[in-house]
Structure 1
């Protein structure tokens, strides 16, 4: 039998993550016991939070050579420019599609 997924309120998740980050001397097992949740649930929240923070910081550049960091910056700029170009072309296509149906 598959266990039913529980949906926890965002405030509860945020408080649990704050507890993990502020309690370096407590194990995850101890924290999940006090919160009454499953260990894997908390591990998933911590992993997702870490990924979200790295994405907000522009990704993790730790361990990269200066050449790699320069290339990453160049590629990010190029990616942003290509996204802008794509958006302009999308809008132009929508405009011309409206014009041909009149």
Structure 2
């Protein structure tokens, strides 16, 4: 298997946006936060959008506790809970419909 270089983003199937490995994001953020370089200069040197890098830096500051907001773990948990909530609502609605059908059929 060929090794991925940092300058070659991974294209997710069915998506037109570029996707980058988490290690790449972490390294890019470290250049800004730990080495004190500007977002624009790091983005330009890595060939990525400054707004994209800015989003990564903002999220890293939240994860480090330097800024208010939902951490990456909290965001993942929220997404999981929303999916679970959707599934439970569908199951409830199906049971309601099945119960109504059963009551109607058994009443005749």
Query: What TM bracket, shorter-length normalisation?
Result: 0.3 to 0.5
Q: More helix by proportion, 1 or 2?
A: 1
